[in-house]
């Protein structure tokens, strides 16, 4: 599905979890990939080297450090990818952080951080990448939102607000592409619970906190709102992203695709 040879993708927040899963699939489909995180360690560059081994058709991968809470760093990320590969054809806004607290106790600094990374960074990277997409008359922007971009949960005010905002930004960019007759699309993927190293690491803590078995935690705590009672996988998120980047999806724009085991169908 979807040969992406000759295309270049930037995937924010991509040294682990969903972002890394997406980067691997895009590289395997032939796209150059710029991976990103806020740190700059040997392991970060090693992850990019591993992704490069999966690349086909002569595609390459590199790591670019950029703090997604910093607007200027967001722009530098796009410019670095353009300088290295010649263009940014695909932008996947995946970077995100979470914090849980009642509204009246929610730290203002945490609110600002979550809005900056989960929402504003997508605006800044898109703002930097769109002119090149217009010039080449082709582009794909995929925003990794969440089931929480379509519904809500208590104690996650900043995350829910940011993801709802990301869905709105997605629709606006899509309409601007369409009205200007640009062969570019913008869509949002809304995952439910996805099996990642972070989630796996939380499992033992949840078992201890609730005095439950692994199976009980999965069914009654982690997957309580996901009717399939199964986690989505990072590979499935990568495949969905690759589809949206393909020509088969050229008329899919301004919409959300839920990968949530039926969560938002309830």
Domain ranges of the chain: 8-194+232-265
Go through 83-108 and write b for each residue having 16 or more CB atoms within 10 A of its CB, e for each that does not: eebebbbbbbbbbbbebeeeeeebee
> What is the pLDDT tens value at each position of the chain, 266 positions in all?
469 999 999 999 999 999 999 999 999 999 999 999 999 999 999 999 999 999 999 999 999 999 999 999 999 999 999 999 999 999 999 999 999 999 999 999 999 999 999 999 999 999 999 999 999 999 999 999 999 999 999 999 999 999 999 999 999 999 999 999 999 999 999 999 999 998 998 898 899 999 999 999 999 999 999 999 999 999 999 999 999 999 999 999 999 999 999 999 99
pTM of the model: 0.97
At the topology level, CATH places domain 8-194+232-265 in Rossmann fold (3.40.50)
The C-alpha atoms of residue 225 and residue 176 are separated, in whole angstroms, by 35
Token couple for 154 = 């208590």
Catalytic residue annotation:
159
Q: Which of 136, 122, 71 is nearest to 93 (CA)?
A: 122
């Amino acid at each position: 599905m979807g040969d992406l040879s000759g295309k270049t993708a930037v995937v924010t927040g991509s040294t682990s979890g969903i972002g890394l899963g997406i980067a691997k699939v895009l590289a395997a489909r032939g796209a150059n990939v710029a991976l990103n995180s806020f740190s700059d360690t040997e392991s970060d560059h090693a992850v990019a080297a591993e992704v490069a081994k999966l690349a086909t058709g002569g595609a390459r991968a590199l790591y670019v450090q950029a703090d997604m809470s910093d607007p200027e760093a967001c722009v530098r990320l796009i410019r670095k990818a353009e300088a290295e590969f010649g263009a940014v054809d695909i932008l996947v806004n995946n970077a995100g952080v979470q914090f849980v607290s009642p509204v009246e106790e929610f730290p203002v600094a945490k609110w600002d951080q979550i809005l900056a990374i989960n929402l504003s960074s997508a605006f800044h990277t898109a703002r930097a990448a769109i002119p090149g997409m217009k010039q080449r008359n082709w582009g794909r922007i995929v925003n990794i939102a969440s089931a929480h971009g379509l519904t809500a949960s208590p104690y996650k005010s900043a995350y829910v607000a940011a993801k709802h905002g990301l869905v709105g930004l997605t629709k606006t960019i899509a309409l601007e592409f369409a009205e200007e007759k640009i062969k570019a699309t913008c869509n949002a993927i809304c995952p439910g619970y996805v099996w990642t190293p972070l989630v796996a690491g939380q499992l033992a803590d949840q078992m201890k906190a609730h005095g439950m078995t692994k199976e009980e935690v999965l069914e009654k705590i982690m997957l309580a709102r996901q009717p399939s009672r199964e986690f989505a996988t990072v590979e499935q998120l990568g495949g969905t992203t690759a589809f949206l980047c393909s020509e088969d999806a050229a008329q899919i724009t301004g919409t959300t695709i839920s990968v949530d085991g039926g969560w938002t169908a309830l």
